[in-house]
Structure 1
């Protein structure tokens, strides 16, 4: 009669471990008294523990047997048998998970039954699972093998009704499922029988299981000494394949999460996603679909008792929107009209580096873009979203730069040939200068009239951009007496000034420019690169070489490049928003000016600047008029903590207060600030030993900080206004 808990693993004699609920001691290996052949198997009851009017007449009709079924790894089975109960009654062998009620000497009386006493765990078995069938090994030996006698196994799952009776209540309103079989003599051999459960009630209401095994299916039937061996009873759970999805309509490449809701303890899973991808054996897989279409998904679940496959679930993968785009041409020149793409679904436009493109319209700014080959992408986020790409090439513009060996040509010199980059056409003004060919720019010196001319070169560029022309000019002087005189607009420049070019008087022209070491100068134009030059004073020389009958001519000019002053600004300490304004220091060289948020007249005011990190700029201009700057930052904090160099001399009461604060131990005129939790000074003033109250009646309830400032320090006090 001793009960054990329902097993959470299958019978170790026959099955692999799993999580299904099983009948306790269904293999009959556990017995109440291991050395007694008269004991009951643990968890099972017989006539020895019967109840009812006639229970005292119950006899021993059960024992432990070493006659086990074929292939068993156990050592015991249970044997029950029929006996003569007196009164002409055959008491058939009977064993149960519940309790036997002996209420009448009439065998078929409804006062005789097996029942679940749900208030006593020794005579009932709690059960809330949903098995498919029950299997058990039996060997039936009726004394009269020709009489057609049949033994009976009945397993009933029922609700929590107390004293549920077999057979009286079987099939009634309190029955959840039944697995009942009457089986005949089979030649005295062990046989494995399987009995499916028929569910007649709501499985969720299952609370107990009642099993009855008898040597005859008819109460009082059979013959004295009929016997029945029972071994390895187990409940079978065939898994049921069920699952849900995170969505049945999805976009391409968006993973769908499949969640198995299968029942009856599957131990393995096989998913077919319907798109030809390998099957997944994960319990709850996530799977993306790359291609639009409709896909049927099935799940097969398996455990040691079998497998089932779910009904196909359809996943619809929508077609992404058309994000393709195109421009009217594949190639453009910088001077062309800025192109706008054609796109069915315009989204956000982007490109590889170097192309200037409007993200909203896709228009390309050709003149602002670098020549090159670019991939333009349209990213459309509507619906499932999609991207489209196209390639655009911008050919380089024409390069009109050119130069002659010298800008001053002496009469009698040989013809002058320019250095070019791209093809183009030359022209000159005023009339008098003759070209050997306007396409080569070679000057016919002998055929030209002395004078100063402006030569214009119109470059037509590459073949890809024949109309994308550009032009530039150079002044050329043909003379018998060259003039190399020149100046610069200033005698001195700062290193960050605009690069200066030489200034020529009437009839003067440039030749080849040179300078002492350290000055970076364009030898053809005389333009000085100030930022690339070293600070110092330089002599710039313009040399026109002797040519033909023309003598050499040169001229010099002194130019000074002044370095920018070295300016520095030291670090600032963090300040509190309620601190008074203070003079800014730390900028070098001295004599500069400070600027920034909260800065006025060289002073920084924390309350004007406000909370946060503020950038302070120090600007200095030296005696040469060259300026430079340095920056650093000041952190303005609310300083609502109580750790500020406290002097701890003033007491405030009452605190919390409903309006008026009184201050004690004020020994001199003391400045105060009332600061909100946001760091804002909401009230300030002065208190003394006679005027020692502060009125907060008009303030909202909340937390404030009182700052008291005296010569010896700062005291902060947390105030609660209620």
Structure 2
């Protein structure tokens, strides 16, 4: 038996014992689709034609990559090459599967392409279509979307890995101005080409040297496209500087360089270089031997680039004994590269979340001036078929940050302007649903035709109502006190002072026109005083016996503790009896000490006894004995002729199917301030819904709701229950969901500022607590990319919002932290100078406490000043330290063969000033001709003279030049410096 009340305050004690004893679980109660969660969309690939195989050139066939040599040169120049190599190999050997579980499209790197082109060679200004083709290939390769991955020789255990790194095109410049060409900037230059073997490997990376200024490497992957091959058909296709998780290249040179021809018209070159950019070495390492390669166990040893040996791409190539070459690997040189290995993928992801972690926080691809792209989902899987009166919860899934929403439900439900509405469909039909999402830059509409079908309720679930009163205002109700006895009519009491006047039972007669079940009573209760603490009323349904209650068809019990005085109460029979024709419903009262009191309502007697109107009197009273079985039934007029009345009660009958309550829910464990969305549309044979939120275990009803679906908010730590009563055919079915509301997670969040001008700030979480039961804590600096590790390192200065979360709605805690900037060690060095061959020069560095001098990779001194006697032009590098910070400075010493080829005494030749600025003077008595060549041997100026001749060098770039003087067929060469 269950008592069910449509009232503001309810008691549900019997609910827990009966109709709702079955508790839904995650398996037994269906959940909504992931619409209720926020899913990041995979950024779309730029538009391109579908390819069954990659077109154009094939990787590094006949070309090479200069990354190893330039990386080695850079780290040697600061005395870090051995440390770099050791660190890399240690990290590679210890690479573990990347955790947390990877989320497609989330590990995103913003890319900016710098096209640095000489107008004299239009081919250098590569087309946007070619750039997008290379970019799309990169996307495919790093997400294992390249169809040619099927070409990997799996029979040798070569299994392509999904690196699960995504790339997006930069949308705006550093000032926030949208780019006219998304992801691309174009800069013209006077450079014929950049000689990476002649010291110009980074010249294209700064506007001061005629290139395109590097964008913040903490936010962008910089890719320069320029001429590094001098137009040759083979050579270096590209290069990049490699990091480890403890070392990054200098911020002014960090990025990738591609040749405009060799690097753009051959697939996988950019993929290869991004591999370097994320820390990978070539598969053969730098050794060119079979004993030491790239450090990964799933890239077999190889003696060198595949294309240097016979059998490349043949299906069978070995260079180290019988070990097969993995020429399919993007980090090899072959024309059939199609894959990264799993350990390579893990290593790159560890680099991206480690040393290059700031890239994941970049706003570089945020939409600019972009209207939304509308989309939506629902909490019921398609096709959505619901009964009349049921609801659907809709969820906005639009992108590009809409600020307003307009929902149209095709007339099936009222339109809405909230982001995630609940729509109740009250009419039969098939409805098209559309969402218009809007922001400051425009609108977009998503329309789903015939998205919701509303069908009729199950047949026969309505109730028939039998009653012996006319609703107000035709008649009115009342209850009465006995003036000569005590108590009430209808209710407990006696009408005189004799014991035989106790009214033990009351009854009323009803007529069922056809065979049906009596399933529910609805009646107002005025008094319900439970003095004994165990008071009850017995309710019976009787056959008719000569206009009196006859054989009992069913007996049920209504506890006074479950009655709700002052309201209409509903009572459902546990075993509904079947009746036909006349039948009776009776109530039996108990008398004792202390005395319980119950009072119902009846028709105001003045509407039946002629005072206001005339009418029948159908209610009977059982009295005349000293017990509840020794009296007889009497009409109320036997007590007093003016008492003509009937019970104010509805008897609800039906033969319809039983309802079954069921509901979907978003989740059952949340944090304070979180929400749970529930929808009862999956209930069957139902025409009304009633929700209760109670404590757990149940003692108190906290709130009630009567819509088919609702979103409930919970604001305090507690255990709760969400009950649903589904009503149909005059019956009620109930289920409940236990809910846990926990405190939001918290942790100690500690930041460390940068030092020495480096990106070495940290944010570290410790001692996490709170969150949903059995928590798994995750951490983030942007609210999108979460990781299991509580440590964030290699952070640049700036403002951060650090977050810790667990599963569950609103289970996230934020901490604002500011990492302050620092300054580099301020160091000095003697300016570079020019000397004659055989001379010595002293170079002095300052600003530190220790000094280490290098000539290439060799250490040549450990004092602030050193004296050198170079045999040729040389660059000397000093690693300066103050015990905390380090900085690197260098000086170029130009060595001239002073007077070589010219008898200066004979010709009295003088060249000055050296170094020069805007003017160079050649003073020679004889007639002469001269040629001025740059460091790459290109002729930049020439002329003739005699005596003191001035050469205007204002237009020349800073650097080292060769001045070739010819006198009477004899030549001499001077090294001159332009500052």
TM-score scaled by structure 2? 0.23
Say which one has the larger Rg: 1
> Which structure has the highest helix share of the two?
2
Question: Which fold has the larger relative contact order, with Cα–Cα distance below 8 Å and residues 6 or more apart in sequence?
Answer: 2
